[in-house]
Structure 1
Amino acid sequence: MTMIDAPAVNARTTSGSPPRRRRRQRREPFTIASYIGVAAFGLICIVPFWMVIAGSLTAESVLAQRGYSFWPTNFSLEAYQTIFAGSRVWQSYTASIFITAVGTAIAVSATSGIAWVIARGLAWVSRPLAIFAYIPMLFTGGLVPMYILITQILELRDSWFSVIFPLVIAPFLVFVQVSFFRATPTEILDAARIDGASELRIFFQIVLPLSKPVIAVIALFYAVTFWNEWFHALLFISEPDKFPLQLVLQNLITSVANAANLGTQAAAPVYQMRLAMTVITIGPILLAYPFAQRYFVKGLTLGASKG
């Protein structure tokens, strides 16, 4: 009886048999319909923005006669040259960047602190603080009390902080972060307390590093809010040198005469400048999304996993 080497048989069998083709998984009709629906929705969102870009690159005479078009006709950079020729836009960029950066930092810090205290469930502290954070979701004090508070009590008129402070706390984002904090494993916190860590050290060295997804999402929401804010600037800021970018855009849209008030003497292409200002205003905040994209879905889903 001859003994056949098993590895040789396996090698011969493997080399002689044709490679098996992996069967492709058939996609379900719902998945295909979902892809088509998402692609169509994305196209609907992109097309108007592209038409604004194309209009900002179209000559003023063509834009006034024909209106919007999908492709730039008589390519022209006159609007961008007029906008950036003066100092008003650069000053408004500085104001918007300061309001967005400082406001987001203050808002994220305040929201994280309040959410952590509520999530801890401390006696005589967490429940009153939760009620205090929940009341603004139902109603506010009104415009007149806020105006008196900002201008007379805090004396922040013509200050960028008059735009920041009314938007520091968003109650919805507080409770999103509360849900995320409650999902933090208690074993890690108990182990840190056994090792002698204080509550502040636990919060800054354990809780916050574990909360990067929800912090990134909350910071993105606050950054978009502060970047797009113009109403509070209209109420509390009267010096044109301190106007944020959105208020300059608002003045440009509501009054044609303000189109020439950007620090230049030449006649301004009004329609083209409106579209160009929209592109300039939207562009910078779009750059924030790629950095927070990997945290965005994770932060929302984990923050809503527990109530």
Structure 2
Amino acid sequence: MIKESLPDRLLKGFFYLSIGLFSLYCLIPFWSVVASSFTSEASIVKNGYMFWPSDFSLDAYKMIFKDNTIYRAYGITTFVTVVGTILSMIFTSAMAYTLSVKSVKYRNHLAFYIYFTMLFHGGLVASYLLISKYLDMKDTIWVLIIPGMISAWNMFLLRNFFASIDDSIAESAKIDGANDVYILFRIILPISLPAMATIGLFYALGYWNKWFDAVLYINDKDLFPLQYLIQRIMNNLDYINQISADISIPNFIPPAMTVRLATTVVTIGPIVFLYPFLQKYFVKGLMVGAVKG
């Protein structure tokens, strides 16, 4: 075992200290949001944000969860996130692997066609007419999944990762009689877990935070995703604030700030728990020893 010198230990300690302070710097605002969301509106107005609830109150969460609408929106968003991420990863992986195989004819032409869509598109009007009129997906849950199922940027990231894998892995599998489908799902994807976890997280975050598509294509309140429902709640709160300011109701403080903080906790809470499960794939080197000797 090599003994570290004093300068190396000091440098490592400096790095640990810097990372710890930066993590604390990121954690303090989040904790302030969580603590303040459990505080009464009057206490927020009087004392501002705090690190511990001085006047504990659940009024903001009671307002958000006052009926079954929020639970239904949670179900819609969870379904869209899970199913959309799975479908996106399947189709993105298949397309990325196809473009990474050097023997595929016209793969550079296909790559340019996909890249062209990143630079030019038909615009909002054309997309709206295509999705709502010709594809007839308006007021369906699939309108939140299918139009954004494949991201060209994520596909190119995954293609570059697949292209970095040694060709001898696939060649040796083909010698043993494996086809491309077997190679992709049984060989390439298992040794690409770091890239798959990263791209999957990108897709999951995109589906979880999707709200603009609901504004355009969803009129059925039973299909409102969580983010769009939260936006409607915030708009209603702004209207209540305007009314209360005009009427000047004595001793009445609308729970505007606490509801905003509570909605932040409600919307980001579940997706934050994905990070501990996916973090190990960001640092694990699964390519080591993958090539046959």
TM bucket (normalised to shorter chain) is: 0.7 to 0.9
User: Of 282, 288, 291, which residue of structure 1 is paired with 2:277?
Assistant: 291
1:164 aligns with 2:145: yes
Structure 1 moving runs of 4+ over 6 Å: none
Structure-2 change in CA distance of 1:99 and 1:282 (3 Å): same
1:227 aligns with 2:208: yes
Question: How many pairs does the alignment contain?
Answer: 275
Letter in 2 for 1:291: F
Map Cα deviations across residues 165-222 of structure 1 (whole Å, 9 max, x no partner).
2321222211221122112222221122112222222222222222222111111111
User: Of 62, 69, 78, which residue of structure 1 is paired with 2:50?
Assistant: 69
Give me the whole-angstrom Cα distance separating, in 1, the residues matched to 2:96 and 2:258: 45
Gapped regions of structure 2 (runs ≥ 5): 242-252, 289-293
Structure-2 change in CA distance of 1:253 and 1:89 (3 Å): same
* Conserved? CA contact 1:103–1:168, under 8 Å: yes
Q: Give the aligned partner of residue 55 of structure 1.
A: 36
Give me the whole-angstrom Cα distance separating, in 1, the residues matched to 2:4 and 2:176: 53
Shift of 1:285: 0.1
Structure-2 change in CA distance of 1:283 and 1:45 (3 Å): same
Give me the whole-angstrom Cα distance separating, in 1, the residues matched to 2:136 and 2:111: 29
Deviates more, 1:52-61 or 1:195-204: 195-204
Deviates more, 1:55-64 or 1:222-231: 55-64
Give me the whole-angstrom Cα distance separating, in 1, the residues matched to 2:68 and 2:239: 14
Give me the whole-angstrom Cα distance separating, in 2, the residues matched to 1:178 and 1:216: 14
Give me the whole-angstrom Cα distance separating, in 1, the residues matched to 2:179 and 2:231: 49
Shift of 1:100: 0.3
Give me the whole-angstrom Cα distance separating, in 1, the residues matched to 2:79 and 2:210: 12
Structure number with bigger Rg: 1
Shift of 1:239: 1.7
Structure-2 change in CA distance of 1:297 and 1:173 (3 Å): farther
Shift of 1:50: 0.9
Normalising by structure 2, we get a TM-score of 0.85
* Conserved? CA contact 2:98–2:104, under 8 Å: no
Letter in 2 for 1:278: T
Letter in 2 for 1:211: S
Shift of 1:123: 4.5
Letter in 2 for 1:213: P
Give me the whole-angstrom Cα distance separating, in 2, the residues matched to 1:229 and 1:127: 32
Map Cα deviations across residues 36-66 of structure 1 (whole Å, 9 max, x no partner).
3322322222111111101111012212333
Give me the whole-angstrom Cα distance separating, in 2, the residues matched to 1:142 and 1:134: 16
User: What's the Cα RMSD here?
Assistant: 2.6
Identical-residue share of aligned pairs (%): 39
* Conserved? CA contact 1:252–1:259, under 8 Å: no
1:237 aligns with 2:237: no
Deviates more, 1:70-79 or 1:25-34: 25-34
Shift of 1:85: 3.1
Deviates more, 1:243-252 or 1:63-72: 63-72
Structure-2 change in CA distance of 1:32 and 1:140 (3 Å): farther
Structure-2 change in CA distance of 1:56 and 1:86 (3 Å): same
1:133 aligns with 2:133: no
User: Of 258, 261, 267, which residue of structure 2 is paired with 1:272?
Assistant: 258
Letter in 1 for 2:265: V
* Conserved? CA contact 2:41–2:254, under 8 Å: no
Shift of 1:83: 2.3
Map Cα deviations across residues 138-189 of structure 1 (whole Å, 9 max, x no partner).
2332111111111011111112221212321222211221122112222221
Letter in 2 for 1:256: L
